[in-house]
Amino acid sequence: MKNKLLIVIIAVCFISNSSWAQNSEKMDSLSYSLGVLIAQNFKQQGLESVEANEVAEGISDVLAGKEKMTVEKANEIFGAHMEAKQKDMHKDNVEAGKKFLEENAKRDGVITLPSGLQYEILTEGSGPKPAATDKVTTHYHGTLIDGTVFDSSVERGQPATFPVNGVIAAWVEALQLMPTGSKWKLYCPSDLAYGDRGAGQLIGPFATLVFEVELISIN
């Protein structure tokens, strides 16, 4: 949405300096059409409750060069609002993940790190631990908290090789703690996985994920 709004606002700036600006009837019609486009973008994002007068004032202030906040601050406010809205829309995932992790933390053998990542050691290896800049080869089996499999190198029968710092935050943290030859089970809060984006058809926004990860080698 931000990109669409940016295009519309750039169009306003361009047109206000064009020959259209000399024809008041054309400008009235064009200005109204831009308002319709902006409002449609708002509606598509569930922002029907915004204060239209404040939106108009913001546009007017920017065009006049007297805006009351920076673009960075505006992005921060907008981003925080949309994240909160996303969480509300997917509150079932948020609440289910929170409850799962709270109960899981009580089980014997489950270790909870300060980041919120939980793990248990299935097999303890004795080899070196990888650094963030290393490439590693692993076997893994990933599921949602209800057991739905969304990805598995084990089922494909083909280990995966990738940079340690090229995967989700939960893996980046865990892999650097794992001696080669280890097999751990990871319980990943959504903010250490795919967050509000989700991934593919099976991993929804704010989904908590579970992985069995075997660290085969450091390459």
What is the mean pLDDT for each group of 10 consecutive residues in the chain (219 residues)? 49 50 66 80 72 81 84 83 69 91 98 98 97 98 97 97 97 98 98 92 94 97
Q: Check residue 2 and give its pLDDT.
A: 46
* Residue of 15, 121, 145, 168 marked catalytic: 168
78 is catalytic: no
* Residue of 121, 150, 191, 218 marked catalytic: 150
Distance CA 14, CA 6 (A): 12
Kindly give, in sequence order, each residue whose CB lies less than 8 Å from that of residue 209, ignoring residues fewer than 6 positions away: 142, 143, 144, 145, 150, 170, 186, 187, 188, 190, 193, 194, 203
Domains of the chain: 2-89 (no CATH), 91-218 (3.10.50.40)
* Residue of 38, 59, 119, 140 marked catalytic: 140
Q: Check residue 1 and give its pLDDT.
A: 45
Long-range contacts from 37-41, C-beta under 8 angstroms, 24+ separation = 37/8, 38/5, 38/8, 41/1, 41/4, 41/5, 41/8
216 is catalytic: no
pTM over 0.85: no
Is there a contact between 176 and 115 (Cβ–Cβ < 8 Å)? no
150 is catalytic: yes
140 is catalytic: yes
- 97 membership: H or E segment, kind and range: helix 91-104
32 is catalytic: no
194 is catalytic: yes
Q: Check residue 20 and give its pLDDT.
A: 46
Q: Check residue 11 and give its pLDDT.
A: 52
* Residue of 187, 206, 211, 216 marked catalytic: 211
* Residue of 100, 119, 187, 194 marked catalytic: 194
Q: Check residue 76 and give its pLDDT.
A: 86
Is there a contact between 122 and 185 (Cβ–Cβ < 8 Å)? yes
* Residue of 38, 59, 119, 151 marked catalytic: 151
